[in-house]
C-alpha cells in the first residue's frame, strides 16, 4: 500500500540521531529514501535497525571523487536531501546547498545540527543531553528539589530536532511541487528547545519585585508581580537623554546607584531583576552581594547577562574570578582605568596613544562601559565563590541561552544566613 509521499525520492547522507529518524518517518509515509553510508558501515546496524527501516542503503566513499559524483547524480533526480554533518563539511565535499541546488533547482536541502550552522557553539561536538540541557529543556522535567532524569534522546533528537526537520521538509516539498523552487531547511536540536527566556523566567517570579536595568525594555510582568523600578536618574531625565525610547521608559520609583542600592531596605523584596547591569558594575561581586541583601531568604535574583562572544565585547578578554575577587576585596582606581583602556582598545579600536586619551576621557566623564565581560561559566564561578565566602546563594535555574541571541539567563535563590 502506497503512502502520501509515494513518488518522492529522498537522499539521506548517513548519520546518527535526528537525521535517520527523519529518514525513517519519510519512508514510513511512502517516500523512496536512499541512504548513503560509509563503506565501513557508519551505523551499528543491530542497534539502529528501527531507525533504518523502510529504505535502501548504498556504501559510498565520500573521500573519493568517484563517490562524490555518485551522490551528485543521485541528488540530480531527488526531491530532497538530508544531511547531519557539522557546519561546513558538506560544502568542503562539494555537496553544499549552493552546488546541489544549482544542479537541481527544485531540491529541498535538509540540514540538521545540534547547535545550528552559526554561533559560538556551531563547531562544538555534543549529544542530545548537551543540547537540551543548554537550551533549558532538561531542568523543567525534574521533580521538585531533585535532579532531572535524562529522557533518552526522545526529547531532543527525536521529538525535537528530527520532528522539526520532517515538518520543514514536508512544507518545503509542497512549495517545490507548486513552484518548482527548492530551498534549504536548516534545523537544529537547540532551535526546537528555544524559549522566550524573559517570559519563562518572569513566570517564576511572584510578589514584590525590584528591577534594575534598561527601563525602556522592562521584563514582561504578570498579575502576580508587583514591580518597583530603580535607576540613577528619574524618568523625565531618562526620557530627555533617550528621546527615541522616551515613550517606552518605565516610571522610576527609586533613584539609587545600582552598585550599592543603599536606600533599599534589607529583605524588602521577594525578587530582584538585573537585566544587562552586572557588566557595568566596577565590582560585580559586591553588586551581587548588595542585590541579595534586598531580597528575603528564599527570594530570587534573576540575571540577564550579555554573552561576550555575541556582542561588541567579543575581542575583549573574559573577566577571571581572581580579578573579580580582587575588585571586591581591594578596589582600585588604577584597575578601573585598565578597564577603560581595554574598552578603548578593543571596542573603540583606538591605537595606543589615542586609546590612552580615550580611556582618560571615559574615566573623567564616568562613562558607563562594560567593565567586565562574561561567558556563562564565569558568572557561575562568581556565584559559587559568593556562596562559599560571603553569603548563601544557589543557582535555581540556568544558565541558559538561545541561538543567535546575545544574552544568557540565570536564576539565583538566596539561602538563609549561616
Residue 358 has pLDDT above 90, yes or no: no
What are the helix and strand counts (H, E) for the chain? 14, 13
Q: Residue 120: CB partners within 8 Å, gap ≥ 6?
A: 307, 309, 310
Output the pLDDT for position 47: 47
Across the range 198-216, mean pLDDT stands at 86
Strands 269-275 and 56-59 turn out to be unpaired
Provide the β-strand partners of residue 36: 13, 58
Burial class (CB in 10 A: 0-12, 13-18, 19+), 313: buried
Contact yes or no for 256/232 (Cβ under 8 A)? yes
Handedness of CA 266, 218, 407, 233 (dihedral sign): negative
Could you give the percent of the chain with pLDDT greater than 70? Answer: 93
CA dihedral (239, 244, 245, 248) positive or negative: positive
* Strand 225-231 relative to strand 9-13, pairing: unpaired
Helix (H) or strand (E) holding 392: none
- pLDDT surpasses 90 at 208: yes
Beta bridge partners of 295: 269
Lowest model confidence (mean pLDDT) among 7-11, 314-318, 343-347:
343-347
Q: Which helix (H) or strand (E) holds 153?
A: none
42: its cell numbers: 557508519
Catalogue the E-assigned strands of 18-170.
32-37, 56-59, 80-83, 108-113
Which domains, and CATH codes, for the chain? 9-192 (3.40.50.10540), 197-414 (3.40.50.150)
pLDDT at 254: 82
Question: How high is the pLDDT of residue 128?
Answer: 73
Residues tagged active-site: 127, 157
What pLDDT does residue 403 have? 60
DSSP class of residue 148 equals P
Residue 400: alpha-carbon gap to chain centroid: 6
Tell me the whole-structure pTM to 2 decimals.
0.59
**Average model confidence (pLDDT) across the chain:** 85
pLDDT digits (tens, 9 = 90+) for 121-177: 778 887 777 777 776 677 667 766 677 777 777 777 777 788 889 999 999 999 999
Amino acid at each position: 500500500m502506497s503512502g502520501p509521499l509515494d513518488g518522492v525520492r529522498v537522499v539521506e547522507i548517513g548519520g546518527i540521531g535526528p537525521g535517520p529518524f527523519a529518514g525513517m518517518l519519510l519512508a514510513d509515509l511512502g517516500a523512496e529514501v536512499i541512504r548513503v553510508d560509509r563503506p565501513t558501515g557508519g551505523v551499528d546496524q543491530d542497534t539502529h535497525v528501527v531507525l533504518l527501516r523502510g529504505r535502501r542503503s548504498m556504501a559510498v566513499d565520500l573521500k573519493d571523487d568517484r563517490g562524490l559524483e555518485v551522490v551528485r547524480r543521485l541528488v540530480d533526480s531527488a526531491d530532497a536531501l538530508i544531511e547531519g554533518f557539522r557546519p561546513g563539511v558538506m560544502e568542503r565535499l562539494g555537496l553544499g546547498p549552493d552546488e546541489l541546488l544549482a544542479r537541481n533547482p527544485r531540491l529541498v536541502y535538509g540540514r540538521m545540527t545540534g547547535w545550528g550552522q552559526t554561533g559560538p557553539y556551531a563547531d562544538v561536538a555534543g549529544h542530545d543531553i548537551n543540547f537540551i540541557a543548554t537550551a533549558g529543556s532538561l531542568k523543567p522535567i525534574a521533580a521538585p528539589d531533585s535532579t532531572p532524569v535524562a529522557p533518552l534522546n526522545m526529547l531532543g533528537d527525536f521529538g525535537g530536532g528530527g520532528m522539526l526537520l520532517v515538518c520543514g521538509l514536508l512544507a518545503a516539498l509542497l512549495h517545490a511541487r507548486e513552484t518548482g523552487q527548492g530551498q534549504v531547511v536548516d534545523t537544529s536540536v537547540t532551535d526546537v528547545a528555544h524559549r522566550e527566556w524573559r517570559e519563562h523566567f518572569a513566570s517564576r517570579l511572584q510578589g514584590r519585585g525590584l528591577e534594575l536595568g534598561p527601563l525602556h525594555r522592562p521584563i514582561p510582568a504578570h498579575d502576580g508581580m508587583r514591580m518597583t523600578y530603580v535607576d540613577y536618574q528619574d524618568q523625565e531625565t531618562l526620557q530627555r537623554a533617550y528621546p527615541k525610547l522616551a515613550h517606552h521608559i518605565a516610571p522610576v520609583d527609586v533613584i539609587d546607584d545600582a552598585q550599592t542600592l543603599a536606600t533599599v531596605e534589607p529583605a524588602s523584596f521577594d525578587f530582584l531583576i538585573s537585566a544587562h547591569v552586572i557588566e557595568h558594575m566596577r565590582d560585580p561581586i559586591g553588586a551581587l552581594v548588595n542585590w541579595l541583601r534586598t531580597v528575603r531568604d528564599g527570594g530570587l535574583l534573576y540575571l540577564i547577562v550579555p554573552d561576550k562572544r555575541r556582542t561588541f565585547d567579543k575581542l575583549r578578554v573574559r573577566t577571571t574570578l581572581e580579578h573579580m575577587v580582587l575588585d571586591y576585596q581591594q578596589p582600585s582606581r588604577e584597575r578601573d582605568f585598565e578597564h577603560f583602556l581595554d574598552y578603548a582598545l578593543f571596542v573603540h579600536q583606538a591605537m595606543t596613544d589615542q586609546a590612552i586619551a580615550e580611556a582618560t576621557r571615559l574615566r573623567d566623564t564616568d562613562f558607563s562601559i562594560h567593565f567586565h565581560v562574561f561567558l556563562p561559566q564565569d558568572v557561575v564561578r562568581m556565584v559559587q565563590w559568593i556562596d562559599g565566602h560571603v553569603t548563601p546563594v544557589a543557582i535555581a535555574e540556568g544558565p541558559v541561552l538561545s541561538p543567535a541571541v546575545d544574552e544568557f539567563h540565570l536564576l539565583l535563590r538566596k539561602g538563609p544566613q549561616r
